[in-house]
């Protein structure tokens, strides 16, 4: 199994879960946003290999072949991309390249090994949605030249390229549209709302809320998300599938939940709303429920506690070393 972006937040959890299911895993990552520390506990695990490389590099297929050799490759999972707004806004051209050139190169590797291809797409393909909740049949409302378009359109193009290869090349593909996901191994400075709120609360700071805080998101704990990805990967389900938690929260409700878990009274620092920031975001997961038998199980406050506990464990580990 090849996992591009396997050293990232979700990617590292996916690598771990696949190893636990008996797969051999090649983590392909250039570590521009992923971290070796996310997979440090896997480096000595039998069946895990870490290959540093950029999926947009013209020689990446040869480098992968040199490692894989004659082994069978069951699947190529494409999770290689900056995912948080600060990360992709800081790397606009690289983000577009990984969604276009990188997707093309990884599809070529999948075709070479007659492997299944899993594209980790995103709820951002729906843009600032005019349909709520969002179903897979909704085509989206995206500003193609806005700042966020470098990520939105990169993923939309990746989906289009994947679908075109299904029709033209016989690619055996799966497309997951991932909604907001949180949990251990998120970078403290990644700019996503859960990490912002948690770390600001732990430092005793006001939580930064953009706009009036009534915009909504749905938060899926990473273990649930990974179970969904594997269920889709191992299924015969074609076409995009939403993977996320359908329970919707306003930003103010999230701040209250974070405050309860950490034991502080939430203070809010309101800032102007960023351009093209979606007002609502909630997945319709009917397809995932019916076709995969999957739905998330971890409630928000339980997941937040697990996330905060993991930060305590990391701090203790650092102190020991």
303 found inside a domain: no
pLDDT surpassing 90 at residue 316: no
187 found inside a domain: no
Catalytic residue among 88, 113, 126, 151: 151
Integer Cα distance of 276 and 209 in angstroms: 16
Q: Which has the closest alpha carbon to 176: 225, 129, 133?
A: 225
pLDDT tens, position by position, 54-96: 999 999 999 999 999 989 999 999 999 999 999 999 999 999 9
* pLDDT (mean) for 46-55: 98
73 found inside a domain: yes
273 found inside a domain: no
Integer Cα distance of 131 and 154 in angstroms: 21
Instruction: Give the pLDDT band (50/70/90) at residue 319.
Output: very low
Q: SS3 of 210, please?
A: strand
Integer Cα distance of 82 and 95 in angstroms: 6
197 found inside a domain: no
211 found inside a domain: no
Integer Cα distance of 301 and 308 in angstroms: 10
304 found inside a domain: no
Which domain range does residue 175 map to?
2-182+219-245+283-297
* pLDDT (mean) for 222-238: 98
Buried b (16+ CB within 10 A) or exposed e, 113-135: bebbbbbbbbbbbbbbbeeebbe
Report the pLDDT value the prediction gives residue 98, as an integer from 0 to 100: 98
198 found inside a domain: no
- For the chain, what percent of residues have pLDDT higher than 90? 93
Half-sphere exposure of 139 (CA within 13 A, CB side): 1
To the query of whether residue 88 is one of the catalytic residues in this protein, the response is: no
Buried b (16+ CB within 10 A) or exposed e, 25-41: bbbbbbebbbeeebbee
pLDDT tens, position by position, 110-158: 999 999 999 999 999 999 999 999 999 999 999 999 999 999 999 999 9
Report the pLDDT value the prediction gives residue 313, as an integer from 0 to 100: 63
pLDDT tens, position by position, 275-298: 878 889 999 999 999 999 999 999
CATH number (domain holding residue 88): 3.40.50.720
* pLDDT (mean) for 92-106: 98
pLDDT surpassing 80 at residue 43: yes
- Total structural domains in the chain? 1
């Amino acid at each position: 199994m090849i996992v591009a972006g396997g050293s990232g937040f979700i990617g590292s959890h996916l690598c771990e879960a696949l190893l636990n299911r008996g797969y051999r895993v090649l983590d392909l990552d250039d570590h521009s946003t992923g971290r070796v520390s996310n997979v440090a506990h896997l480096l000595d695990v039998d069946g895990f290999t870490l290959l540093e490389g950029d999926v947009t590099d013209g020689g990446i297929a040869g480098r992968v072949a040199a490692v894989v050799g004659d082994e069978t490759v069951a699947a190529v999972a494409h999770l290689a991309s900056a995912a948080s707004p600060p990360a992709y806004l800081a790397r606009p051209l690289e983000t577009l390249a990984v969604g276009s050139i990188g997707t093309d190169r990884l599809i070529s590797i999948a075709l070479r090994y007659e492997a299944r291809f899993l594209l980790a797409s995103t709820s951002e393909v729906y843009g600032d949605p005019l349909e709520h909740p969002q179903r897979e049949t909704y085509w989206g409302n995206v500003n193609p030249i806005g700042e966020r378009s470098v990520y939105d359109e990169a993923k939309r193009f990746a989906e289009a390229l994947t679908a075109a290869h299904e029709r033209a090349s016989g690619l055996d593909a799966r497309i997951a549209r991932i909604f907001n996901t949180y949990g251990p191994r998120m970078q403290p400075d990644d700019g996503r709302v859960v990490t912002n709120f948690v770390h600001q609360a732990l430092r005793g700071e006001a939580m930064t809320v953009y706009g009036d805080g009534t915009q909504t998101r749905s938060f899926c704990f990473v273990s649930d998300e990974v179970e969904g990805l594997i269920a889709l990967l191992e299924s015969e389900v074609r076409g995009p599938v939403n993977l996320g938690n359908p329970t919707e929260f306003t930003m103010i409700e999230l701040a209250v939940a974070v405050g309860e878990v950490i034991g502080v009274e939430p203070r809010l620092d309101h800032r102007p709303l960023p351009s093209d920031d979606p007002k609502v975001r909630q997945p319709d997961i009917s397809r995932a429920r019916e076709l995969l038998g999957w739905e998330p199980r971890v409630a928000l406050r339980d997941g937040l506690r697990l996330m905060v506990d993991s930060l305590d464990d990391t701090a203790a580990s650092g102190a020991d070393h």
